[in-house]
Amino acid sequence: MLGPWVEKYRPQSLDDVVGQKHIVNRLKQYVEEESMPNLMFTGPAGVGKTTSALALVKSILGEYWRQNFLELNASDARGIETVRTDIKNFCRLKPVGAPFRIIFLDEVDNMTKDAQHALRREMEMYTKTASFILSCNYSSKIIDPIQSRCAIFRFTPIKAEEIADRLKFIAETEGCEYEDTAITTIVNFAEGDMRKSVNMLQSAASTGSITEDHVFEVVSKAKPQEIKKMVNTALMGDFMKSRDILREVMILQGTSGEDMVNQIYQDVSGRVMSGQMDGDVYMNLIGAIAETDFRIREGANPRIQLEALLAKFL
Ligand SMILES: Nc1ncnc2c1ncn2[C@@H]1O[C@H](COP(=O)(O)OP(=O)(O)OP(=O)(O)O)[C@@H](O)[C@H]1O
Ligand SMILES: [Mg+2]
């Protein structure tokens, strides 16, 4: 189990990319045609933008892809000028052993408008020798002149089923046993983010085995059953006992104050929706929950605030 699984299981070819089928099919056409326009990949984190870019580059540039490929991060700590110098130096050279050269620029949405205008001029200047692949989370942050020079590909969160299958494949390849409920829990927390999912899987595996309990531990979230029990005891009037549960969850599992409030909110909302709690009671509680949420965000001591919240449940 050496190294991070996210790298070990990063798909090397377009065929291995999970989901994003429309995008992958169009990218494969570029490979067949041996040419591509400037591309812009947008979408949430961990869904395959960098992965697809690398896979495309390898198959379109072939054997000498390394020599003809430049990967840069727009939010480079050394500043945007360094990035531009790197682009200039790279574009001055002719492609070697490949039809053209490719520059992959990540996190373009972190560039200022001025820097984006400069980038746009560079994209124009080097159209003959280089193609750009720009990657960002929000295309709305990219200036129109750049957007209109790119074919835009919108990556979407990966479907729960596809993530589950991938996680099972990885666990099996690594020879790790897993509980199905552990996989479901990871998928629920990950919200379509494959990187997050694979990281959670590896963390759970490193604690011994991929069980639901271990997943809750590694994400430092309380189990819904524990929150339910805590809320129940408070509603039934046993403050001291519900306070014990609160302490146990926060200290032993390291659940943060913000997560606790959120989970309490989810629990209470679930009760109203399933008719287990009256609307009136809910209306009283939600005010107290909102107050606690606000105070914790403002920096108040989470344990004191949460104990006060439980006291209001009595
Ligand atoms: N579609 C996918 N199929 C298979 N694995 C994936 C996919 N998307 C992400 N992964 C896994 O997650 C890791 C990170 O993915 P990637 O670097 O492509 O994310 P990204 O979309 O570029 O995210 P960011 O916006 O944070 O840069 C990969 O190394 C791989 O292990
Ligand atoms: Mg990326």
- How many Å lie between the centroid of ligand 2 and the Cα of residue 115? 20
43 is known to lie in a ligand binding site: yes
Report CA-CA distances (Å) from 252 to 185, 207, 212, 244.
Answer: 20, 15, 16, 12
- How many Å lie between the centroid of ligand 1 and the Cα of residue 51? 6
300 is known to lie in a ligand binding site: no
Ligand 1: residues whose CB is within 6 Å? Answer: 6-7, 9-11, 17-20, 45-51, 137, 158, 194-195, 198
186 CB-near residues (< 8 Å, 6+ apart): 163, 167, 197, 200, 201, 204, 215
* CA gap 188, 199 in Å, rounded: 14
* Domain residue extents for the chain: 5-154, 160-218, 224-313
DSSP output for 168-216? HHHHHHTT--B-HHHHHHHHHHHTT-HHHHHHHHHHHHHTSSB-HHHHH
Question: Which residue's CA is the nearest one to ligand 1's atom 27?
Answer: 45
- How many Å lie between the centroid of ligand 1 and the Cα of residue 230? 37
Q: Name residues with Cβ closer than 5 Å to ligand 2, which is an ion.
A: 49-50
129 is known to lie in a ligand binding site: no
* CA gap 235, 104 in Å, rounded: 56
Ligand 1 atom nearest 7 alpha carbon:
29
Query: Residue 221's pLDDT is what?
Result: 87
Query: What is the architecture, at CATH level 2, of domain 224-313?
Result: Up-down Bundle (1.20)
Q: Give the sheet arrangement for strand 130-136, strand by strand.
A: 69-73, 101-106, 130-136, 39-42, 151-154
Superfamily of segment(s) 5-154 = P-loop containing nucleotide triphosphate hydrolases (3.40.50.300)
Query: What is the length of the chain?
Result: 314
14 CB-near residues (< 8 Å, 6+ apart): 24, 27, 28, 31, 52, 55, 56, 59
Report phi then psi at 174, rounded to 5: -80, -5
Report CA-CA distances (Å) from 308 to 234, 275, 296.
Answer: 11, 26, 12
- How many Å lie between the centroid of ligand 2 and the Cα of residue 51? 7
Ligand 1 atom nearest 18 alpha carbon:
3
* CA gap 203, 200 in Å, rounded: 5
Question: Which residue's CA is the nearest one to ligand 1's atom 13?
Answer: 195
Of 229, 228, 217, 170, the residue nearest 197 (C-alpha): 170
* CA gap 34, 60 in Å, rounded: 6
Question: Which residue's CA is the nearest one to ligand 1's atom 25?
Answer: 45
Fold of 160-218: Helicase, Ruva Protein; domain 3 (1.10.8)
* CA gap 66, 5 in Å, rounded: 23
Query: Residue 219's pLDDT is what?
Result: 87
46 is known to lie in a ligand binding site: yes
45 is known to lie in a ligand binding site: yes
3-state secondary structure labels for all residues of 143-164: CHHHHCCCEEEECCCCCHHHHH
* CA gap 85, 6 in Å, rounded: 31
Which helix (H) or strand (E) is 226 found in, with range?
helix 224-235
DSSP secondary structure letter of residue 265 = H
- How many Å lie between the centroid of ligand 1 and the Cα of residue 272? 38
47 is known to lie in a ligand binding site: yes
pLDDT in tens, the chain (314 residues): 568 999 999 999 999 999 999 999 999 999 999 999 999 999 999 999 999 999 999 999 999 999 999 999 888 777 788 888 888 899 888 888 888 999 999 999 989 898 899 899 989 988 888 999 999 999 999 999 999 999 999 999 999 999 999 999 999 999 999 999 999 999 999 999 999 999 999 999 998 899 999 999 888 888 889 999 999 999 999 999 999 999 999 988 889 999 999 999 999 999 999 999 999 999 999 999 999 999 999 999 999 999 999 999 98
Ligand 1 atom nearest 5 alpha carbon:
31
Q: Which ligand is nearest to the CA of 109?
A: 1
Pair of tokens at residue 81: 């000028």
Q: Which ligand is nearest to the CA of 163?
A: 1
Q: Which ligand is nearest to the CA of 49?
A: 1
79 is known to lie in a ligand binding site: no
Ligand 1 atom nearest 19 alpha carbon:
1
Q: What is the pTM of this model?
A: 0.84
